[in-house]
């Protein structure tokens, strides 16, 4: 599945600058809506979308701050996304007594629709190129550090002014490694209620083993309803439901929010990714999974509490494993090397471009060398504790908001505060037992990796053992109470400084170290790489024009492709699976392990037309974050729901391999079939199918 890593609370690539390259394959590309490959589309498919078609699609698509994508599928705010995107909210609404993840959920009447504790939904209203504004602000800056500060200030200004003027969420997005800066404005919704979710075993049949593989058999869907002023959102911009679903070989589009790619990274950046960043992250995640599995073994409730964390981490491990395999693949590496060498040769061949851009690669290489020296701190100066994360935020929040906007730490700029506060004051449950297990487990690894004399570790331990630390922190803190957090934030610096809460006290002690690390990375890595990245971005435009798409940035993109099988395991993977395949796989494993089926499915088999298409694959170019994206046909109707990339697509972080890279989606025919035959949901079906 293709959840953005954002869902795990971290971004994968600290820096993601580099050289852009023209698409190697006709169906490659996650295109911004302002720069679509219209010529290719016309030549290959004889299709040219109108502006109205594009605007309607854009306004029908949403971004979910839980790390995924979605789309409106009715005039009354019905929002379709994946079960695994909705999963965080399902977890937060579940209790020991009522497990919506395991059992699913259906609100037959509006009153039963279930509010999401901290889900934010964004709809992109406009895009504006602000590259000249940012460039103007950099005038006169002498050092990379000075440039960095001015760039940050300029961006904060643009965002703040836009918010003030329009009331819309306003984000400046860095595209083409700084070749362009764009202001994206979003309408934001926070009253988002759950309408329908199937049982986890229907949504995530096959579990972690089947994750990222195809042929696949998942109903990975969920339906929310967006409310506006306490009423279902009334919208003309929604995708008509095509219950026949996608057809073999037809042209389809995916509109969604791919999280991040590193296709334009320089070789030096990829080397650090390969040798330090990804292996370190994998090590950390594997240890955390082991910790959570031990916790889960304590009982059914513990297993429920840890379920979504394990789910997310296993998903990341599998994705990162594929990513690392890609980085270690000789062919991939040769391709990247050739691209970079050709591009650099082109830049160096012209004295002017050589002078302006020629030094960028070596500057990045130097910065990456430095970054590598502190790469371990990114993973092993951590506890995995949600409560410490909140405490850290509170401690920094009260200090940052007093500063001029331009000088604040990233994340605390004026335009970002509303969403930040929404997250900080979320009423979502935090499980004390799970927190203790996480902290104790991660501290053990931290000590093993960094040594007990590491300053960060010393503060955390304070002479005690990991378990003792974890117990003391969690038993003593009130940070789990949203009201307590609000009081602290409202009390400002004084209240935070005076607080005797052990978690707040710890966050205060860690704060200087965290700031030092951020500053060091900015001065030594980010400032250098942003400047060099901008140079490479410009060099790329100069050399190749703008027939390219930027690396993914968790902003709205359009990809096009075909419903199409591919060569696999010595044979051909079909373009679609059917419900026969679901029952085959369940029966093949005797309904054991991750292949058991909810009784609704096991006993309801004869109600279904087993020949109904279930999941299908397309050649569209996507990446984590695209989860929940609609698959749309020429008519702009929804014909599928993206939930995964195949395992062959994991190298897609670096290169798009058109022969085998596939998007995996749930067929609308399958969703229609189960809603009609298994879930007894006539009202919902009527809403989806009404013209």
Where does this chain bind a second copy (CB under 8 A)? 206, 209-213, 215, 248, 318, 322, 568-572, 574-578, 580-581, 583-585, 587-590, 595, 610-611, 647
Whether 325 and 651 have beta carbons less than 8 Å apart is answered as yes
Whole-number Cα distances in Å, 555 to 18, 183, 395, 547: 19, 11, 29, 19
Residue 101 CB, nearest approach to a second copy (Å): 22
DSSP 204: T
- For residue 167, the tally of other CB atoms under 10 A from its CB is 11
In angstroms, the CA 189 to CA 180 distance is 28
Q: Which is nearer to a second copy, 209 or 512 (CB)?
A: 209
Q: Which is nearer to a second copy, 246 or 272 (CB)?
A: 246
Nearest residue to 80 (alpha-carbon basis) of 190, 192, 1: 192
Residue 579 CB, nearest approach to a second copy (Å): 8
Residue 288 CB, nearest approach to a second copy (Å): 21
Residue 580 CB, nearest approach to a second copy (Å): 4
Residue 305 CB, nearest approach to a second copy (Å): 27
Instruction: Pull the structure tokens for residue 161.
Output: 């002014």
Q: Which is nearer to a second copy, 164 or 325 (CB)?
A: 325
Whether 472 and 501 have beta carbons less than 8 Å apart is answered as no
Q: Which is nearer to a second copy, 144 or 206 (CB)?
A: 206
What burial letters (b/e) apply to 255-278, b meaning 16+ CB within 10 Å? bbbbbbbbbbbbbbbbbbbbebbb
Q: What angle do CA 225, 227, 232 make, to 5 degrees?
A: 75
* Exposed/middle/buried for residue 570 (C-beta within 10 Å: 0-12, 13-18, 19+): exposed
Q: Which is nearer to a second copy, 229 or 569 (CB)?
A: 569
Residue 659 CB, nearest approach to a second copy (Å): 15
Residue 647 CB, nearest approach to a second copy (Å): 4
Q: Which is nearer to a second copy, 5 or 318 (CB)?
A: 318
Among all chains, which residue has been given the structure tokens 């490659």? 28
Q: Which is nearer to a second copy, 97 or 590 (CB)?
A: 590
Overall residue count recorded for the chain in this entry = 691
Q: Which is nearer to a second copy, 304 or 318 (CB)?
A: 318
What burial letters (b/e) apply to 125-146, b meaning 16+ CB within 10 Å? bebeebbebbeebeeeeeebbe
Q: Which is nearer to a second copy, 360 or 582 (CB)?
A: 582
Residue 458 CB, nearest approach to a second copy (Å): 41
Element (H, E) at 568: strand 566-568
In angstroms, the CA 116 to CA 111 distance is 14
Residue 672 CB, nearest approach to a second copy (Å): 17
Residue 334 CB, nearest approach to a second copy (Å): 16
Q: Which is nearer to a second copy, 461 or 568 (CB)?
A: 568
Instruction: Pull the structure tokens for residue 203.
Output: 């949504």
Nearest residue to 642 (alpha-carbon basis) of 658, 618, 661: 618
SS3 of residue 381 by DSSP: coil
What sign does the CA torsion over 195, 201, 203, 204 have? Answer: positive
Residue 208 CB, nearest approach to a second copy (Å): 9
Whether 93 and 117 have beta carbons less than 8 Å apart is answered as yes
Q: Which is nearer to a second copy, 405 or 644 (CB)?
A: 644
Q: Which is nearer to a second copy, 202 or 510 (CB)?
A: 202
In angstroms, the CA 65 to CA 625 distance is 10
Name the region of 285 (left: φ>0; alpha: ψ -120 to 50; beta: rest). Answer: alpha
Quote the distance between the C-alpha of residue 598 and its chain's center.
29
Residue 609 CB, nearest approach to a second copy (Å): 10
Whether 478 and 484 have beta carbons less than 8 Å apart is answered as yes
């Amino acid at each position: 599945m293709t959840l953005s890593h954002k869902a795990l609370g971290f971004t994968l690539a600290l820096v993601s600058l580099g050289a852009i390259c023209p698409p190697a394959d006709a169906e490659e590309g996650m295109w911004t809506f302002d720069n679509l490959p219209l010529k290719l589309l016309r030549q290959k498919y004889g299709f040219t979308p109108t502006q109205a078609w594009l605007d309607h699609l854009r306004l029908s698509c949403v971004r979910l701050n839980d790390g995924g994508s979605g789309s409106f599928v009715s005039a009354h705010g019905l929002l379709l996304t994946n079960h695994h995107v909705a999963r965080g909210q399902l977890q937060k609404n579940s209790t020991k007594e009522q497990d919506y993840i395991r059992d699913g959920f259906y609100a037959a009447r509006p009153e039963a629709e279930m509010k999401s504790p901290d889900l934010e939904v964004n709809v992109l209203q406009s895009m504006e190129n602000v590259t000249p504004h940012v460039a103007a602000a950099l005038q006169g800056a002498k050092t990379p550090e000075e440039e960095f500060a001015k760039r940050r200030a300029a961006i904060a200004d643009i965002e703040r002014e836009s918010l003030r003027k329009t009331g819309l969420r306003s984000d400046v997005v860095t595209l083409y490694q700084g070749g362009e800066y764009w202001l994206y404005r979003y309408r934001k919704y926070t009253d988002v209620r759950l309408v329908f979710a199937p049982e986890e075993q229907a949504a995530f049949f096959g579990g972690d083993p089947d994750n990222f593989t195809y042929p696949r058999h998942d109903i990975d869907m969920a339906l929310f309803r967006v409310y506006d002023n306490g009423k279902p959102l009334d919208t003309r911009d929604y995708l008509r439901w095509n219950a026949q679903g996608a057809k073999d070989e037809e042209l389809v589009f995916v509109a969604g929010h791919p999280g991040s790619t590193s296709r334009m990274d320089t070789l030096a950046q990829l080397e650090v990714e390969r040798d330090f960043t990804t292996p370190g992250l994998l090590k950390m995640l594997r240890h955390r999974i082991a910790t959570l599995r031990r916790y889960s073994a304590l009982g059914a409730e513990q297993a429920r509490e840890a379920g979504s964390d394990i789910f997310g981490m296993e998903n990341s491990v599998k994705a990162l494993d594929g990513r690392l395999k890609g980085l270690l693949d000789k062919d991939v590496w040769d391709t990247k090397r050739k691209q970079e060498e050709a591009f650099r040769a082109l830049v160096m061949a012209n004295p002017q471009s050589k002078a302006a851009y020629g030094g960028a690669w070596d500057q990045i290489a130097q910065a990456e060398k430095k970054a590598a020296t502190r790469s371990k701190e990114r993973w092993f100066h951590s506890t995995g504790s949600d409560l410490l994360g909140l405490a850290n935020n509170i401690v920094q929040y009260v200090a940052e908001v007093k500063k001029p906007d331009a000088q604040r730490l990233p994340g605390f700029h004026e335009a970002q505060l509303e969403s930040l506060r929404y997250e900080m004051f979320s009423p979502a449950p935090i499980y004390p037992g799970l927190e203790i297990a996480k902290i104790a487990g991660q501290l053990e690894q931290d000590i093993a990796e960094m040594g007990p004399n590491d300053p960060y570790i010393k503060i955390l331990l304070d002479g005690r053992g990991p378990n003792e630390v974890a117990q003391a922190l969690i038993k003593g803190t009130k940070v789990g109470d949203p009201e307590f957090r609000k009081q602290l934030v409202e009390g400002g610096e004084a209240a935070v400084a005076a607080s005797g809460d052990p978690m707040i006290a710890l966050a205060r002690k860690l704060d200087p170290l965290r700031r030092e690390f951020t500053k060091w990375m900015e001065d030594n890595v980010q400032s250098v790489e942003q400047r060099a990245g901008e140079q490479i971005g410009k060099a790329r435009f100069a050399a190749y024009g703008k027939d390219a798409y930027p690396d993914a940035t968790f902003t709205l993109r359009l990809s096009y492709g075909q419903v199409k099988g591919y060569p696999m395991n010595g044979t051909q993977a079909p373009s679609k699976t059917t419900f026969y395949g679901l029952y085959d796989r369940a029966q093949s494993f005797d309904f054991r392990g991750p292949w058991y089926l909810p009784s609704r499915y096991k006993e309801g088999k004869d109600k279904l037309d087993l020949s109904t298409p279930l999941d299908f694959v397309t050649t569209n170019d996507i990446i984590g974050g695209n989860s929940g994206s609609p698959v749309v046909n020429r008519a702009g109707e929804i014909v599928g729901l993206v939930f995964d990339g195949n395992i062959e697509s994991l190298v897609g972080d670096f290169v798009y391999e058109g022969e085998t890279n596939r998007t995996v989606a749930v067929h609308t025919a399958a969703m229609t079939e189960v809603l009609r035959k298994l879930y007894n949901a006539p009202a919902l079906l009527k809403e989806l199918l009404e013209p």
